[in-house]
Amino acid sequence: MTCTLDISFLEGQDFQNSLRVLCCFFQIEQIHEEQLQCIKAFYSGKDVYLSTMTGYGKSFVYQSLPLLHDLLIEQAVGTSIAIVICPLVSLMIDQVSYIQSLGLSAAAIYSGQDPKILADIEEGIYSYVYVSPESLLSVERWRIMLSYPTFKGHCITVCIDEAHCISHWYVHSFKPSVNMTLFEQ
């Protein structure tokens, strides 16, 4: 899924103002140059991969996208959706808690999750949906969810957190019944 904006827009005052709002919202003093390059690359329609040291702010890049998108196209905050594929439930729970502490809507899909939250995820209630690669691929409910009108119309990105683990997911983590061709595409 790509979100493209006119490149001149990415240099304009509206974009700069939206970045300032992001800094306030996420309680950071400034956006690192690498983060800004990734955000601009995303809005230029490019795939983005960011590998930096722990604590640098990689998560900020994908966490900023739904809010920034809502600001840029002047729609209600909370309309845009990011799906974040994450290999660890504990990390998903920490990320969801952090995003919720900022006043944004977030939830995670994992075994044992409250059924009401899972139903709300399907309804598009959350701007940030965290899901394990196993759940996304092996549970038909979540694969089908991606074709719902809510997700087709509002999902602006699918991100992979801890992307350095991808090669291990295929070899070690999945049951033989999981259709890996969906992941490979």
Q: Per-residue pLDDT tens for 121-168?
A: 989 999 999 998 888 877 888 888 888 888 888 999 999 887 656 555
Q: Per-residue pLDDT tens for 83-128?
A: 999 988 999 999 999 999 999 999 999 888 899 998 999 899 999 9
Give every CB contact of residue 22 below 8 A, 6+ residues apart in sequence.
31, 64, 67, 68, 71
Q: 0.75 cut: is pTM over it? A: yes
Rounded CA separation 103/142 (Å):
25
Rounded CA separation 11/165 (Å):
34
Rounded CA separation 109/122 (Å):
10
Q: Which domains does the chain have, with CATH numbers?
A: 9-184 (3.40.50.300)
